[in-house]
Structure 1
């Protein structure tokens, strides 16, 4: 039984609004290194913590935490559409374990996932369905959102379950650090946008393309430095990564949601996937693991504090 942790930022803007070629190559080499490590590890099961961006989860019933017993990628931006390889029996057993740990968990037998799940599966695992995967959703865009403490507790429950499987286990956290792309909020949305936030599943190809183009246009402006969007915050990002590297759970639990939004942007709540993944690794290894920050760069073209972090058994 062995465990590997890989946390990685995702961005839908790769290939649409790119930084200088040297930066693209640098980030690409880092991702290739992570992928080589995953290939060498050859996981028997993957636990993937990731958010959604109003592509699979909507305000008709927005769970804070959800496990999929079956999942399909919607194929947004440049990710592939199609099914993930979700072992239903393991996902159901994981759900039972998490609920027994007093975590209020939703379960989906028809989960739809977007680039937040698909990009790490394709980039560091090789494809959507190369390895069996348990998809674990954390709401990161629709207030109210859970605390860092609750994300940690969720991750711990999943890690305890993973430890009992006796398999080579890859744990992934997928989320951008400081960033604030133009994700609409129900409190300020005009009626037609509010309806999409409530019940926007399975849009037409034209509607999806138009939505994606708005994000691409916003990134183009953001890269010029003349944008109303919240700026990236490298200092906040690096302090957060340092807390993970130190496994300073008290410091992480103390992060407040309002302070996260104010300092790092509304979508920085995606880092709760990193908190949950690290907590899962901590529980799975009994605390016997080491964390290494692998990469960090603020990339305005991708509207992201773009980063990677690895954890290996000590």
Structure 2
């Protein structure tokens, strides 16, 4: 088997405001089982599709897609901090091949990322440097954003590139399903927040980062008490989305606009384009089968939380 996939929701709130013990145990067991499947696959290369939450990418320059030739995690919300193990030469070659396929892939030699990248590497592989990683950012929070079609085409191009390597490749997608935590918006920002969103937030002072984290925790606590205090979760849509992935029907999402997705599932649900890109990449290896599906609404984490693996069906 030359390819495997796992998509997993992330949350900055793990360990800060957790659900009931039995729910947390479910999630931990689900992740442990996925980690075991990945260990059995023994990937030689990991391609990680993940978003950012105004910790590494800002409106001074906001690409739709960016491949990190060099990459480090900042360790927000007690996620792992430090360098991610990127094979720089391979990343440069990948970016060049994607451009040849009409994919507008930005590159960064000092890409800064947050828990959206760090959590799947920690939870599923045991660390930021456990395996060689091609980290690919997909803008999922800062309009204008890429649509489903562009994410799918980019994922397919990445899949074609990795097929040529003759390596065991693990595709990871990182993102919540329906959710809308209190992420700032440029159109509604005051002067201070606007300055942060335009780039000064990349080096956020510790006290301000702590206040930002406290606001998120407080919002989660309020959401548990009143599901209308934030945009409500949409488990019906979330499970429909998982069905589409399982049935190999990601192309049917091409016609959905970004506004439609925001209305259905909240403004942060655009993170699911990381899942679409990962499944599109896997599809270039042929038909696939899914396994290990898990879904639960977890208001404590302000997320429709899901986990899903897949492997080529012909192997």
1:221 and 1:227 in contact (8 A); partners too: no
Q: Counterparts in 2 of 1:115-154, with a 5 A limit?
A: 115-154=115-154
CA displacement at 1:15 relative to structure 2: 0.8
- CA distance in 2 between partners of 1:268 and 1:280 (Å): 20
Per-residue CA deviation, residues 271-304 of structure 1 (Å, 9 max, x unaligned), is: 0000000000011x1x232123610001000000
Q: Could you say what secondary structure the match of 2:151 adopts?
A: helix
Q: Could you say what secondary structure the match of 2:77 adopts?
A: coil
**Residue in structure 1 matched with residue 273 of structure 2 by the alignment:** 272
- CA distance in 2 between partners of 1:189 and 1:202 (Å): 18
**Residue in structure 1 matched with residue 252 of structure 2 by the alignment:** 251
**Residue in structure 2 matched with residue 301 of structure 1 by the alignment:** 300
Q: Could you say what secondary structure the match of 1:5 adopts?
A: strand
CA displacement at 1:226 relative to structure 2: 5.1
Per-residue CA deviation, residues 103-141 of structure 1 (Å, 9 max, x unaligned), is: 111100000010000000000011011000000000000
- CA distance in 1 between partners of 2:214 and 2:156 (Å): 38
Q: Unaligned stretches of 5+ in structure 2?
A: none
**Residue in structure 1 matched with residue 243 of structure 2 by the alignment:** 242
Per-residue CA deviation, residues 163-197 of structure 1 (Å, 9 max, x unaligned), is: 00110110000000000000010001111111111
**Residue in structure 1 matched with residue 91 of structure 2 by the alignment:** 91
**Residue in structure 2 matched with residue 26 of structure 1 by the alignment:** 26
Q: Counterparts in 2 of 1:1-314, with a 5 A limit?
A: 2-199=2-199, 200-225=201-226, 227-283=228-284, 285=285, 287-292=286-291, 294-314=293-313
1:261 and 1:268 in contact (8 A); partners too: yes
2:291 and 2:310 in contact (8 A); partners too: yes
Q: What do you get for the CA RMSD once the two structures are aligned?
A: 1.0
Q: Could you say what secondary structure the match of 1:77 adopts?
A: helix
1:245 and 1:293 in contact (8 A); partners too: no
1:46 and 1:131 in contact (8 A); partners too: yes
Task: Name the stretch that deviates more: 199-208 or 160-169.
Answer: 199-208
CA displacement at 1:253 relative to structure 2: 1.3
- CA distance in 1 between partners of 2:293 and 2:156 (Å): 23
1:241 and 1:293 in contact (8 A); partners too: no
1:71 and 1:83 in contact (8 A); partners too: yes
2:222 and 2:229 in contact (8 A); partners too: no
2:261 and 2:269 in contact (8 A); partners too: yes
- CA distance in 1 between partners of 2:144 and 2:177 (Å): 19
Q: TM-score, normalised by structure 2?
A: 0.97
Q: Could you say what secondary structure the match of 2:207 adopts?
A: helix
Q: Unaligned stretches of 5+ in structure 1?
A: none
- CA distance in 1 between partners of 2:204 and 2:121 (Å): 23
CA displacement at 1:227 relative to structure 2: 4.3
Q: Could you say what secondary structure the match of 2:73 adopts?
A: strand
CA displacement at 1:228 relative to structure 2: 2.8
Q: Could you say what secondary structure the match of 2:67 adopts?
A: strand
- CA distance in 1 between partners of 2:202 and 2:9 (Å): 25
Q: TM-score, normalised by structure 1?
A: 0.97
